[in-house]
Structure 1
């Protein structure tokens, strides 16, 4: 069995800036910079023959390079407690378009549709349920870098396994992004982006379900 996910890698200069944000959050388990990525679709454990089918489906995706904009801190959790600190990414039209195509590839391979709303992000730290106020304090003391953006020219099928020191992610297959973008869908994606985000009291973007 293989444990897989599809994601966009981050360039070295972006990972360096994000790694400078680590520290200052009690109880946080910081993600190593070499593990930074933006997940397009978590797959989970599948058999080797299913992985071959998945590779074939992903290889058929034709898409242009994707614009990635990281624009602030966020978190996942519930009932006033957080379990994950993230760097949030804008739902740019090109990113939404690519994610939809990856999802279609999953379904084509016989996988169940993803029921969770797509929330593009880079995980910075994980923690036991922690009061949200602690993350607010952290965000006030650590200013998120401005203009943290890049263009992704490939997406990657990663494998994941647990070691004695934590999760290890290995890039298995890379898929280039050099195809076309549907202009009609671009307008639809822009409208979805406008609807899917709200502002918190500091004026930073936060996912609606975070």
Structure 2
């Protein structure tokens, strides 16, 4: 069964900027540059019928393209840090896209995501890193930011059994529109899709 999640890809220029943040922290396992992404919604291990259902509805999303940038660094786990990240400043279109994906997932029977949506790019997983070392690392890199980049699509990624951090594979890509007007997907007449495989 595939382990799936939706995400935004990071362009090469911004990924190279992120790669300059690697190093300088004992206990950090750095994410490979090609695996940088912004998770929109973790879907999890699902059967192939559910995966087809997810693709069926994600393909009907009509949202405008938008621009984002990466800014600042931080960590998850205040007393025992377990991950480093680069932040994503608030963009209404990003939250609207994520919200629509969340509604679709719940409508087709997937449980609500228990975590609050906090857009970020994971830089490293931490194991045994000292709190003081993490604080020093973050204070030295707090001014990090990239040039804005255009988001023209979102993707459905799959991951293989691993500790985390990839490798990831693009299973499907869903284009965003350049139009100014769009409507939220109406699922009032929702019926299970037939298998697409």
Q: TM-score range by the shorter chain?
A: 0.7 to 0.9
Distance in 2 of aligned mates of 1:59 and 1:136: 42
Compute the displacement of 1:37 (Å): 0.2
Q: TM-score, normalised by structure 2?
A: 0.85
Structure 1, unpaired ranges of 5+: 186-210
Compute the RMSD of aligned alpha carbons: 2.3
Of Structure 1 and Structure 2, which has the larger fraction of its residues in strand? 1
* Contact 1:31 1:124 (8 Å CA) reproduced: yes
Structure 2, unpaired ranges of 5+: 185-197
* Residue deviations 1:87-111 (CA, integer Å, cap 9, x gap): 0111210111110011011012111
Q: TM-score, normalised by structure 1?
A: 0.80
Distance in 2 of aligned mates of 1:138 and 1:93: 30
Q: Which runs of 4+ in 1 moved over 2 A?
A: 129-133, 139-149, 162-167, 179-183
The count of corresponding residues between Structure 1 and Structure 2 is 183
Of Structure 1 and Structure 2, which has the larger fraction of its residues in helix? 1
| 2:65 is the alignment partner of 1:65 | yes
Relative contact order: is structure 1 or structure 2 higher (C-alpha 8 Å, sep ≥ 6)? Answer: 2
Compute the displacement of 1:170 (Å): 0.2
Distance in 2 of aligned mates of 1:3 and 1:114: 15
Mean Cα displacement is larger for which, 174-183 or 30-39?
Answer: 174-183
Compute the displacement of 1:172 (Å): 0.6
